[in-house]
């Protein structure tokens, strides 16, 4: 408990707002690498995932690539890319690492969103005379958007957590207090940096969860509410059934005629 209080004292110290490693500066660096990496990964993964989901081809390749990308250790990959690209291109090496980390979740969200659509809906749209392009943009993309946003949510959280290792190659970010505090045995600073990363991840997760909920088409939201109405009615009926049975039991003796 004392360590937690010391971490909070470190976070709210006026010194944290001054200098090259001020917390607002580190937060800006963390968000910069996160946003840039996720945007680049989305530009690569989303069109590829949509193509796989629309055509139904290449799913095995996408699953293999996603599995291989998840299996690669991020820190080792970043160090390898720094050695290959040189110390003058450390930001590029780190960005490539974060992009490769974000691609699997975005790719999976893109193609599973289209694969999850009922084929009868696609056949009905085709029967009305829609072209393949119209089916894709007006039917498949809106219906698959919630799962795509779910993939974006997972990718963003993974990148936020992994950007902390950028401090190892002197790129700043919220991992800097953690990396600097470990050899100095400043555990209040380490815990303070970890709290900042956790709070940032929670805020991002909450915002993207709201976006994922808003991405559900209005017709599906109305249908889901309607499907829950009979269930609620059954629950209300079951809740009233005990009192009804008691009333019937109480009236049964009085209504019965003596023998």
pLDDT of 255 higher than 50: no
Instruction: Give pLDDT, residue 157.
Output: 95
How far apart are the C-alpha atoms of 4 and 178, rounded to whole Å? 15
Q: Where do the structural domains in the chain lie, given as residue ranges?
A: 2-239
Confidence category of residue 10, pLDDT binned at 50, 70, 90: confident
Output 251-258 pairs: Cβ under 8 A, ≥24 positions apart: none
Chain mean pLDDT for the chain: 83
pLDDT of 230 higher than 80: no
> What is the homologous superfamily of the domain 2-239 according to CATH?
MetI-like (1.10.3720.10)
**Segment 108-157, tens digit of pLDDT:** 999 999 988 888 988 898 898 898 888 889 999 999 999 999 999 999 99
| Contact yes or no for 54/136 (Cβ under 8 A) | yes
Q: Which has more confidence, 239 or 74? A: 74
How far apart are the C-alpha atoms of 108 and 215, rounded to whole Å? 17
Instruction: Give pLDDT, residue 102.
Output: 93
Mean per-residue pLDDT, 239-258 = 45
DSSP 8-state symbol, 163: G
Angle at 106 between CA 60 and CA 68, to 5 degrees: 45
**Segment 37-96, tens digit of pLDDT:** 999 999 999 999 999 988 888 888 888 877 787 788 888 889 888 888 887 888 999 999
Instruction: Give pLDDT, residue 244.
Output: 44
pTM, 2 dp:
0.81
Which value, to the nearest 10 degrees, does the dihedral of the CA atoms of residues 177, 181, 187, 189 take?
-30
């Amino acid at each position: 408990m004392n360590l937690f209080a010391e971490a909070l004292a470190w976070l709210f110290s006026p010194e944290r707002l001054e200098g090259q490693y001020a917390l607002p500066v580190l937060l800006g660096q963390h968000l910069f690498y996160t946003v840039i990496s996720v945007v680049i990964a989305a530009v690569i993964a989303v069109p590829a995932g949509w193509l796989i989901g629309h055509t139904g081809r290449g799913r095995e390749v996408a699953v293999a690539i996603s599995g291989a990308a998840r299996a690669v250790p991020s820190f080792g990959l970043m160090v390898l890319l720094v050695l290959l690209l040189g110390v003058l291109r450390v930001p590029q090496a780190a960005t490539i690492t974060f992009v490769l980390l974000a691609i699997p979740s975005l790719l999976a969200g893109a193609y599973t969103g289209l694969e999850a659509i009922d084929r009868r809906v696609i056949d009905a749209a085709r029967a009305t005379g829609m072209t393949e392009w119209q089916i894709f943009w007006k039917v498949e993309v809106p219906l698959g958007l919630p799962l795509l946003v779910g993939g974006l949510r997972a990718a963003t959280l993974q990148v936020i957590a992994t950007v902390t290792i950028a401090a190892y190659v002197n790129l700043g970010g919220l991992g800097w207090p953690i990396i600097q505090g470990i050899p100095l045995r400043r555990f209040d600073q380490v815990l303070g940096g970890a709290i900042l990363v956790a709070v940032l991840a929670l805020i991002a997760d909450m915002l993207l969860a709201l976006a994922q909920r808003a991405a559900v088409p209005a017709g599906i939201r109305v249908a889901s509410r309607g499907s829950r109405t009979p269930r609620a009615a059954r629950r209300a009926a079951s809740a009233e059934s005990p009192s009804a049975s008691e009333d019937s039991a109480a009236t049964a003796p009085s209504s019965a005629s003596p023998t």
